[in-house]
Structure 1
């Protein structure tokens, strides 16, 4: 008898500033799921979360994937339900394993992971703790510091303090970090809301911008360094594995949203042209970073490397990295010898095995 295909729920979109990036990532993952290598084993069911947080079933989800852009108002059934999660759409209760491809708040921060945990259904990626700590840059940096991992100097700022634009706060940041420095919302990714400050006026503007997006901010000292990235998979019942390194190269002043997602604005070098000793340090530190925040399944860990001094700093971890055509995570694993269809399948099977282990009384996170 032919075994019944495993029902995989691909969930994407989300009430996040990274909504459009999520659609692009989901299209890549859906293609990998429909590859001949996976099509006989898995039945793919797509679900879409619109920018207001409403959940929709396969008809709208498939349409959004085909058009490659967020749902238009005329595509949504009228009258619209209130914003936010109001229940699962048709077919969601039949899903055997969830595959979230959501970036940013309301998808990468432990919220949807909590829902799936309550449902007692396996899902790909980190659990509630790892997702939440990995998402919030203040919490993430505290976890890295507790683990003794090297980071560039930084300061944590609240949006209420930033909104006041008090001279003592600006004096403190200038004294502690100097210029240039980078102002970041603590809970956004894809460089959304990040700005470079080169003087007091641009620091004030950066704080105002970030404070409008997040109640928690991080300000980091700017360094002259190369940007290296490492992909990690496994965790839980599996050992964590680190990929070859990649380097992001760009001619812009810094790696902002436009540079990151515009064709021709940046390029990657895989494997990164660094001494093997540096590559080994990065791979080891990437695994330590995952352990520090409790991440599992898949993560991308980013570094700053100062070639002149040999210093290596941990920048951040991304517990639901992008899967677009320009995303490093799948490219790093491809260069390590793991093709995209295989990578997606192994992520799904790892999630199912971990769920079985936990439900049978094994270790949990």
Structure 2
């Protein structure tokens, strides 16, 4: 990338005069996406939708992609290229403006400078970043690692802090936190890396014993992954080994969950100035062509959810209350999508929360808020404004 094509720093941009005659500038938002996790492509799709929705009259925008190898790069600001096409998700490498240069964010809190560097060249300052909108999903982005870097850098950012992000990513500890706050969760078991690696027979026996107590089928899933990637529905002991190995391709720690019979209900939580509020809930109907609501059903075949969910007024109020309770229990900030089962006997059981839920045009989180009265552009603006209000420091 030649220096003349680099984004202008705020000092280089045209500034509108303020009422006191002094120059001012729009807040500068870095949309960070991609990353090293198996959800890389969905993150790019989410970023495209966010870039499309940000009000450019209010904010200056810098799109920053993280490649699957972990390199930060400036990318084209072309949301139309960041969509699923022919059943294939996009990749940051296809959007990078340069295959040589990289972007670095200063970790000095007094200096929020964004730097662009190429091999053998003096790094070029691109100006300060006022807020980061991280739309990464999964490890190395949604799990507190990126949030920790931004805390070190002193840069405000959209979404939950380090602790809540880590809890929201690790399904085991998420459930432990919920249980400690009295929230209902379904039966589960954990197989830690050493258990499977050192004594797979004992681990297998542990899973089969769990099935004996709670019945088949079981769901074998990575403990720290999302978008239903790596999950297998297992109907008998015969499929266990293959299911465990599939989950371990994404995370060495796996979660074993019993089937909770009931309807799948989701609810969005958004933080306003006066505190978190819940959206109208949605329902994920059973998908005839899929065993469960897996990655293909969510993003490729686009199985439509029902918004609002056909619930009684009492049920809707209850699930909205539980969603906010889950948000508070995990010390979340900004936004959360809370996923529940409405069991056959009328109880709500929380399955999980997502601290950076899918934000694609077909994702349930923005659809629920649209039905609640908050449009997609308004939703993005509310999240950026909340991040700008929030001071950095321990969160």
Q: TM-score, normalised by structure 2?
A: 0.82
> Offset of 1:72 from its aligned partner?
4.4
> Offset of 1:122 from its aligned partner?
0.7
Q: Is the 8 A contact 2:219 2:231 kept in 1?
A: yes
Match of 1:5 in 2: 26
The partner residue of 1:50 within 59, 67, 73 is 67
2:390 matches 1:348 = no
2:44 matches 1:23 = yes
Match of 1:150 in 2: 184
Which residues of 2 match residues 177-188 of structure 1 at below 5 A? 177-188=214-225
The answer to which structure, 1 or 2, has the higher relative contact order (CA under 8 A, 6+ apart) is 1
> Offset of 1:106 from its aligned partner?
0.7
Q: Distance in 2 between matches of 1:77 and 1:55?
A: 11
Q: Distance in 1 between matches of 2:94 and 2:337?
A: 34
Q: Is the 8 A contact 1:56 1:89 kept in 2?
A: no
The partner residue of 1:244 within 255, 280, 289 is 280
Match of 2:174 in 1: 140
Q: TM-score, normalised by structure 1?
A: 0.89
Match of 2:13 in 1: none
More helix, by proportion: 1
2:341 matches 1:277 = no
The partner residue of 2:91 within 64, 67, 70 is 70
> Offset of 1:262 from its aligned partner?
1.5
Larger Rg: 2
Match of 1:253 in 2: 291
Match of 2:329 in 1: 292
Q: Is the 8 A contact 1:299 1:321 kept in 2?
A: yes
In structure 2, relative to structure 1, the CA distance for the partners of 1:346 and 1:187 (3 Å cut) is: same
Number of residues of Structure 1 aligned to a counterpart in Structure 2 = 348
> Offset of 1:77 from its aligned partner?
4.8
In structure 2, relative to structure 1, the CA distance for the partners of 1:147 and 1:256 (3 Å cut) is: same
Secondary structure of 1:205 counterpart: helix
The partner residue of 1:231 within 249, 268, 273 is 268
Match of 1:105 in 2: 139
> Offset of 1:309 from its aligned partner?
1.0
Match of 1:192 in 2: 229
Match of 2:348 in 1: 312
Q: Is the 8 A contact 1:228 1:302 kept in 2?
A: yes
What CA RMSD, in Å, does the superposition of the two structures yield over aligned residues? 2.3
Where do 5+ consecutive residues of structure 2 fail to align? 1-16, 19-23, 84-89, 107-113, 117-124
In structure 2, relative to structure 1, the CA distance for the partners of 1:248 and 1:92 (3 Å cut) is: farther
In structure 2, relative to structure 1, the CA distance for the partners of 1:304 and 1:97 (3 Å cut) is: same
Q: Distance in 1 between matches of 2:127 and 2:196?
A: 44
